[in-house]
Structure 1
């Protein structure tokens, strides 16, 4: 598996640092005398070699990870979910959920697979218990009893592991559902607030339209008032002219 390979590679830089440090301590304690190199130069050479080895190993690690990511394959940790008693076809069908989809759909599919696997393991445990009881009643079944007991213990341990994993998936599913419910409630709250804003906007538009209509009426009334004022001024000027003419004619007659 790729993860096991990386475990072996990731230990090498730490081992290199440890061995290099131990070698430097040994050189400092032993203090060898060389005619060509001094003690400080020897320590520098050891440190340089240590850093180069650690850097090379880390480069190999990064290259392996990059090469594995370039393959665009499924994580090999899914192989640990395969049962020794059941083929991996059911779990391989779940790989289509890995490409995309909702979190709850993926968890429901994995939960369904684990339930089926647990049911299958329960039936297998019952069958093995029956076989074990048959061998225990027999006289010459000492070796098969040990084998069946070991196999039964292994299946029981696998069943417990799957039960624990199913409980974890159920808790994650409940958490995802709660998160979806919170998002839905928040969406409903935002939609309600938006509807309130829309109603307030419509009310303000109605008020604005009413004030616009009132302003138009006032403008028309003002125009009519101006027109009547002009007419009145014309009449007043006409009356003044007539009055002045009558006064002048009266004075002429006198």
Structure 2
């Protein structure tokens, strides 16, 4: 008899980990949009592990129930308890690891890592963009993440510019004084300049992304040409091997014919020598 408490506990764990997974995936997407690309890549894999662990544990419990008549080592109730304890332990470990990463993320005070990883790739160096693309397969994904990060910044700065414009118009209507207006105009100009700089950087990254995609297409076409040439070489090699095999068989036939001719010549010489001996004896007689 399977205890109902075990089944209920497993269903509750499945529901809880499913809810947490949806929430964590949303949080990982927010972290990615904030520019922490490497950190979001780590969290992306961990966020799905608790639910996957409970799901695999549930599948194992179903297998134990199905194979119950053939399992005689322990009782089915004890095996189910062991399975649910193991899956809950692993799920708890993964959740603790995720919480530790989140705590580490909250203590970060540096710049987003997406800027460091991609701006360095856009600077002039001895390594070309093509080499970076083929030695680091995540470059296109990182550039896409940077574009999303720049869009979020542009959206935020646009809202900030609108807010400052509203404040400026409010100060102008109230006509309180010149000093706040001057400060606000200066802040608005700096925000507008930062917005234009971000737009220029976004356009530059977009052009670099197009260049990388062009290089990928060029390499793909080159690989297709190499494969076509390789197939032609293989066909030519097969044809030459067939010709070589035919000539080898002909050479073997000629060798056998030559050997037969040599044996016949030896036999003929023996007959001639024997005939000459008989002829010489007849002349003496």
TM-score normalised to structure 1 length: 0.51
Contact 1:121 1:155 in 2 (8 A): yes
Q: What are the within-5 Å matches in structure 2 for residues 221-232 of structure 1?
A: 221-232=257-268
Instruction: Give the superposition deviation at 1:142.
Output: 5.2
Instruction: Give the superposition deviation at 1:172.
Output: 2.3
SS class of match (2:176): coil
Contact 1:132 1:148 in 2 (8 A): yes
CA distance in 2, matches of 1:213, 1:123: 85
CA distance in 2, matches of 1:90, 1:115: 17
Say yes or no: does 1:171 pair with 2:207.
yes
CA distance in 1, matches of 2:183, 2:240: 84
CA distance in 1, matches of 2:180, 2:145: 38
CA distance in 2, matches of 1:130, 1:159: 17
The match for 1:114 among 150, 153, 156 is 150
Say yes or no: does 1:204 pair with 2:240.
yes
Render the CA deviation track for 1:116-145: whole Å, top value 9, x for unaligned: 211211121122233333334435365444
Aligned to 1:92: 113
Instruction: Give the superposition deviation at 1:232.
Output: 3.1
CA distance in 2, matches of 1:88, 1:199: 62
CA distance in 1, matches of 2:177, 2:228: 74
Aligned to 1:233: 269
Relative to structure 1, the CA distance from residue 89 to residue 114 in structure 2 (aligned partners, 3 Å threshold; closer, same or farther) is: farther
Contact 1:94 1:109 in 2 (8 A): no
CA distance in 2, matches of 1:163, 1:211: 71
Instruction: Give the superposition deviation at 1:210.
Output: 1.7
Contact 1:90 1:113 in 2 (8 A): no
Paired residues, number: 163
SS class of match (2:112): helix
Instruction: Give the superposition deviation at 1:165.
Output: 1.9
Q: What are the within-5 Å matches in structure 2 for residues 31-110 of structure 1?
A: 89=110, 91-95=112-116, 101=136, 104-110=140-146
Aligned to 2:196: 160
TM-score normalised to structure 2 length: 0.47
Aligned to 2:105: none
CA distance in 1, matches of 2:205, 2:256: 75
Q: Which runs of 5 or more residues in structure 2 are unaligned?
A: 1-107, 122-131
- Give 1 or 2 for the bigger CA radius of gyration: 1
Contact 2:164 2:184 in 1 (8 A): yes
Relative to structure 1, the CA distance from residue 174 to residue 208 in structure 2 (aligned partners, 3 Å threshold; closer, same or farther) is: same
The match for 1:132 among 153, 168, 174 is 168
